[in-house]
Structure 1
Amino acid sequence: MAQIAGRQVGPRGFGLMNFTWRSDPVPDEQAFDTMRAALANDMNFWNGGEFYGTPEVNSMTLLKRYFEKYPEDSDKVVLSIKGGLRADLVPDGSPENIRRSLDFTLEKLGGRKVDVFECARRDPNVPLATTFGVIEKEYIKTGKVGGICLSEVSAATIHEAAKITTIAGVEVELSLFSTDVLSNGVAAACAEHDIPLIAYSPLGRGMLTGRFQSAADIPTTDIRHHLPRFQPENFETNLQLVRQVEDLAAKKGCTPAQLALGWLNSLSRRPGMPTIIPIPGSTTVDRVVENAKLVDLTDEEMAEIDATLAKFEVAGSRYGEGHPINT
């Protein structure tokens, strides 16, 4: 168990993006069943975003409806919401936009506290102290927000932020497909400051589940069509890692997704590593139950994965050109 903003969270979190950031939002009945299954499996750290969906249908409106139906669950969930972007998804850490983002979030939630708020990207034009100051003085001290997280930041930003305020967590992309933070100082900085690392897309945006066997399997309206790693010229190369993960999972007697999440679980126990909380997204109860199963990997199995990763080079970058990451 880990602590985020003074609250206990389970070894797995739960991502809400897949419910509302799509052309066909998941019906409430299915979404609620899936969310209840996550909570029943100790996946109580729920991660959403102001911009996951439209102003009318988003993470907060879904959560508001859920907590209205299941008010007893509200205190069980540790809620993390990303915001701080303008309407054109450009980072804006100014006091005016932080107030707008948080007021919008809290209003859509129906007044429910945001346990952790994180700017989705750092605004290079506004000092961290200015952004944090607004959150602390106007929202944390008034009980509307519990703590501050960082998202997609560099090691230098983590060190800088830790000197200004208490950082509850750092959200980054981390999976067998995305291991940059293990070598660029981000994981080491989190460990140094005892900050949990929150791993989004821990299943390689679905690739590591075996869901996609070719680029043609990706729905035409899916965001993956805009990501370099899912382009036809890169897909077949990246599928090679999926095949190796499938082979390793078969030997372990688990699913590829369970192996990928087990790797993160075992990775966090290595010396010099921070606590890692994966937040896989799911839209069905069956997938939640699968992802919740904790698979322990032996040192020998971890060494085999290390060897596999050392020989494999992922084709394509995580995002398209010009997208701000690790700022």
Structure 2
Amino acid sequence: MPTILGREIGSIGFGLMGFTWRANPVPHSEAIKTMKCALEAGANMWNAGTFYGPPTANSIHLLQAYFTQYPSDAPKVLLSVKGGMNVAKHSADSSKANLTRDVDDALKILGGLKSIDIFQCGRVDPEIPIEETMEVMKGFVKEGKIGGIGLSEVGAKTIRRAAKIHPIAAVEVEFSLFSPDILENDVAATCAELGIPIVAYSPLGRGFLTGQIKTYADVTEQHKFGPRFAEENFAKNLELVETIRRVAEKKGVTSAQLALGWVRAYSGRDGNPIIVPLPGATKVERVEENCKLVDLTEEELKEIGDILKSMPVKGARVPKFIEHLAWA
């Protein structure tokens, strides 16, 4: 099993964003059932955010509700929390005051029910050198407020600079059939060299690879922020999804299981570091689907590789208004 901070974690992680960062948040009672299912299925690395929802009802509040109901589950979960963002301005805020407020508020909400195992800034603040941010976070570790420091949406140079200040527990970056960038931009190679695990967010292409989106009418308003869901790109990308679906059907698995299996296939392979996919799911049946591990053969990997070369994804990875924060 993969390890982070010396603790064993499941081969699949669990992202909590979808429960609270939406127009109609999932009721706590329903969310807690899904979270319990994830833990029982082995997905014990959970990722939350201080900005995943409004200040009075974000994913930290959901965690507080969960661990109030299941206090004995706290030591079973490796909890990663994102902060350091200014959502209103679509930007990062890694000032000492903002990071301190985020960490202290999260700890206050959790009320001692659960510790923060890893804390990371959601994006790199372009106004503050990463060394200064790391020194602040290093202070949190020394004070016992957090167990380790993570990085999110970072480039290889930033990873190297940050690692000189303090060991990095994990690097969270986008990695999927739709976004294989880390295999080409030195991020995976750098993490492998430094012994840093990668947590792959959006391993299902922000939902496109789940097989649940079949027509443009299925695209939500939130998805429409993503260039790959834009109407001018949608049809071509759906062709790719359909081609992947046929490969999955031939193997007797779902599109989501195939996509997660592809991400896992690169874990420790060809000089890559440990890679743990981090899908989000708000329903028990989706969690059960995602946690059924599927291994791909060399022939299947080649087939998928050939498909990706012949059918490149259309559209940018992130919306234009946050391009300046990508691979920082």
TM-score (ref. length: structure 1): 0.96
Residue aligning to 1:149 = 150
Q: Does 1:109 align with 2:133?
A: no
Deviations 1:56-106 (A, max 9, x none): 111100000010011011111100011011352421222112112211222
Alpha-carbon distance between aligned partners in 1 of 2:307 and 2:80, rounded to the nearest angstrom: 34
Alpha-carbon distance between aligned partners in 2 of 1:269 and 1:83, rounded to the nearest angstrom: 29
Q: Does 1:18 align with 2:18?
A: yes
Residue 119 (structure 1) aligned to one of 118, 121, 136 = 121
Match of 1:121, SS state, is coil
Two-structure CA RMSD over aligned residues (Å): 1.2
Structure 2 letter corresponding to 1:158: I
Deviations 1:179-237 (A, max 9, x none): 11111111111111111111111011111111111221123xx4212111111111101
- Contact preservation (8 Å) 2:176, 2:205: yes
Is the alpha carbon distance of 1:142 and 1:6 closer, same or farther for their aligned partners in structure 2, counting shifts above 3 Å?
Answer: farther
- Contact preservation (8 Å) 2:135, 2:165: no
Q: Does 1:207 align with 2:242?
A: no
Alpha-carbon distance between aligned partners in 2 of 1:232 and 1:86, rounded to the nearest angstrom: 29
Alpha-carbon distance between aligned partners in 2 of 1:278 and 1:122, rounded to the nearest angstrom: 21
Residue aligning to 1:246 = 245
User: Number of residues paired by the alignment?
Assistant: 324
Q: Which moved more, 1:230-239 or 1:109-118?
A: 109-118
Alpha-carbon distance between aligned partners in 1 of 2:161 and 2:22, rounded to the nearest angstrom: 35
Deviation at 1:7, TM superposition (A): 2.0
- Contact preservation (8 Å) 1:263, 1:302: yes
Residue aligning to 1:274 = 273
What is the correspondence of 1:52-131 to structure 2 with a 5 Å cutoff? 52-88=52-88, 89-111=90-112, 112-131=114-133
Alpha-carbon distance between aligned partners in 2 of 1:173 and 1:235, rounded to the nearest angstrom: 20
Q: Which moved more, 1:254-263 or 1:155-164?
A: 155-164
- Contact preservation (8 Å) 2:202, 2:279: yes
Residue aligning to 1:159 = 160
Residue aligning to 1:191 = 192
Match of 2:261, SS state, is helix
> 5+ residue gaps in structure 2?
none
Match of 2:86, SS state, is coil
Q: Which moved more, 1:3-12 or 1:41-50?
A: 3-12
Q: Which moved more, 1:251-260 or 1:126-135?
A: 126-135
Match of 1:322, SS state, is helix
Residue aligning to 1:46 = 46
- Contact preservation (8 Å) 1:113, 1:143: no
- Contact preservation (8 Å) 1:86, 1:97: no
Alpha-carbon distance between aligned partners in 2 of 1:114 and 1:215, rounded to the nearest angstrom: 39
> 5+ residue gaps in structure 1?
none
Deviation at 1:134, TM superposition (A): 1.8
Deviation at 1:162, TM superposition (A): 1.5
Residue aligning to 1:305 = 304
TM-score (ref. length: structure 2): 0.96
Q: Does 1:233 align with 2:235?
A: no
Alpha-carbon distance between aligned partners in 2 of 1:303 and 1:230, rounded to the nearest angstrom: 26
Match of 1:278, SS state, is strand
